[in-house]
């Protein structure tokens, strides 16, 4: 896709989330209902966006804990269609925080866009006394029109993260996201970008054909397991009995596994199930070692699951 922009048009795709949530009381930051407001309502609440060339489209309206494969297919298709328009400088996607990192990584692996696709969200509902959504959305638009910006990005609390690095690291604070190995791309300060790193590479996406060859209901079944004190192989064998296509295991430390869990995972591999070994640590890679189960590298367990899904869809 061309990176030349003849316009500063930004397309805003709404998918719901806390940023569009409402609570009965302004002091209530947790007892709200997500995905209550439309994306155009979110834009109308930000005077600084008035007069900017924007298009708004409500693509979905859900709490991101309920994000699903069908919505991913639809979202990737619409993003690709808008990116192909020469008048579009970039896109912004409003999303819930719970699965934002998974959606961002999915879109980057599938599309690897040469224009910016910026996911943003909020930790406080739109009705909160100090809601964070409007500033996050304003900052996301600033990144979407920044010359040279590209790739799938997350803009949150003034920080710009790449889809590969971003992780939700706090359950409540408005500074809820971090780059897992400190690889922050940049900051948005009063609408001005201060870059700290390089934009993601463009042009190595897997393509829409990879995710549209099967209906969402027929996508591979990939589950995540956790190593912990007393971990055994019972869950692995139960999943094998139910039918599973792939397993990601969040190991301890450098992807280490109890003997019993590793033995069950090797049984699964022998039965044709794909296995990836990640870590339950907040950051850092799983190093390859001779004879060990395959490593997910620096991917978190949830991103390793996305990668395994895409591999299996091939």
pLDDT in tens, 203-217: 889 999 999 999 999
pLDDT above 90: percentage of residues in the chain:
95
Note the pLDDT of residue 239: 98
pLDDT in tens, 27-63: 999 999 999 999 999 999 999 999 999 999 999 999 9
Q: Is the pLDDT of residue 282 over 80?
A: yes
Q: Name the burial class of residue 259, with classes exposed (0-12), middle (13-18) and buried (19+) by CB atoms within 10 angstroms of its CB.
A: exposed
pLDDT in tens, 95-120: 999 999 999 999 999 999 999 999 99
Active-site residue (options: 15, 18, 97, 103): 18
CATH number of the domain located at residue range(s) 9-195 in this protein: 3.40.50.1170
Q: What is the mean pLDDT of residues 114-132?
A: 97
Note the pLDDT of residue 163: 97
Mean pLDDT of the chain: 95
Q: Is the pLDDT of residue 181 over 90?
A: no
**Banded pLDDT at 67 (limits 50, 70, 90):** very high
Q: What is the mean pLDDT of residues 164-179?
A: 96
Note the pLDDT of residue 7: 74
CATH number of the domain located at residue range(s) 220-313 in this protein: 3.40.50.40
Note the pLDDT of residue 314: 94
Note the pLDDT of residue 3: 37
Residue 44 backbone dihedrals phi, psi, to 5 degrees: -65, -20
What are the residue boundaries of the structural domains of the chain, listed by start? 9-195, 220-313
Note the pLDDT of residue 180: 86
**Banded pLDDT at 5 (limits 50, 70, 90):** very low
For residues 125 and 31, what is the distance between their CA atoms, to the nearest angstrom?
9
Q: Is the pLDDT of residue 182 over 90?
A: no
Q: What is the pTM of this model?
A: 0.95
From residue 158, alpha-carbon distances to 43, 120, 188, 301 in Å are 18, 11, 5, 26
Contacts of 259 (CB under 8 A, 6+ apart): none
Q: What is the mean pLDDT of residues 118-130?
A: 97
**Domains 9-195 and 220-313 in one fold:** yes
Q: Give the per-residue SS3 of the chain.
A: CCCCCCCCEEEEEEEECHHHCECCCCCCCCCCECCCCCHHHHHHCCHHHCCCCEEEEEEEEECHHHCCHHHHHHHHHHHHHHHCCCCEEEEEEECCCCCHHHHHHHHHHHHCCCCEEEEECCCCCCCCCCCCHHHHHHHHHHHHCCCCCCEEEEEECCEEEECCCEEECCCCCCCCEEECCCCCCEEEECCEEEECCCCCCCCCCCCHHHHHCCCHHHCCCEEEEECCCCCCCHHHHHHHHHCCCEEEEEEECCCECCHHHHHHHHHHHHCCCEEEEEECCCCCCCCCCCCCCCECCCCCHHHHHHHHHHHHHC
Question: Residue 153 has which token pair?
Answer: 């990005």
Note the pLDDT of residue 231: 97
Q: Which of 5-19, 106-120, 195-209, 253-267 shows the lowest per-residue confidence on average (mean pLDDT)?
A: 5-19
Note the pLDDT of residue 13: 98
**Banded pLDDT at 176 (limits 50, 70, 90):** very high
**Could you confirm whether 256 is annotated as catalytic?**
no
């Amino acid at each position: 896709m061309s990176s030349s922009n003849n316009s500063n048009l930004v397309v805003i795709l709404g998918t719901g989330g806390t940023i569009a949530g409402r609570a009965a009381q302004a002091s209530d930051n947790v007892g709200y209902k997500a995905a209550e407001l439309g994306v155009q309502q979110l834009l109308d609440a930000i005077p600084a966006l008035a007069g900017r060339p924007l298009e708004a489209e409500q693509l979905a309206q859900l709490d991101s804990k309920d994000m699903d494969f069908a919505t991913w297919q639809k979202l990737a298709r619409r993003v690709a269609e808008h990116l192909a328009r020469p008048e579009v400088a970039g896109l912004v996607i409003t999303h819930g925080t719970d699965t934002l990192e998974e959606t961002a990584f999915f879109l980057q692996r599938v599309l690897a866009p040469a224009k910016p696709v910026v996911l943003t969200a909020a930790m406080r509902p739109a009705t909160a006394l100090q809601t964070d959504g409007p500033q996050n959305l304003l900052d996301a638009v600033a990144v979407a029109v920044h010359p040279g910006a590209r790739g799938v990005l997350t803009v949150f609390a003034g920080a710009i993260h790449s889809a590969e690095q971003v992780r939700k690291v706090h359950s409540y604070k408005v500074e809820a996201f971090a780059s897992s190995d400190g690889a922050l791309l940049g900051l948005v300060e009063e609408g001005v970008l201060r870059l700290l790193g390089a934009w993601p590479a463009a042009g190595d996406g897997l393509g829409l054909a990879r995710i549209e060859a099967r209906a969402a209901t027929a996508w591979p079944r990939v589950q995540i397991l956790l190593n912990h004190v007393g971990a055994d192989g019972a869950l692995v064998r139960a999943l094998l009995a139910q039918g599973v296509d792939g397993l990601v295991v969040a190991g301890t430390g450098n992807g280490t596994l109890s003997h019993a869990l590793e033995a069950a995972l090797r049984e699964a591999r022998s039965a044709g199930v794909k296995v990836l070994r990640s870590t339950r640590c907040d950051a850092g890679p799983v190093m390859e070692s001779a004879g060990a189960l395959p490593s997910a590298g620096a991917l978190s367990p949830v991103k390793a699951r996305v990668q395994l899904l895409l591999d299996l869809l091939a």
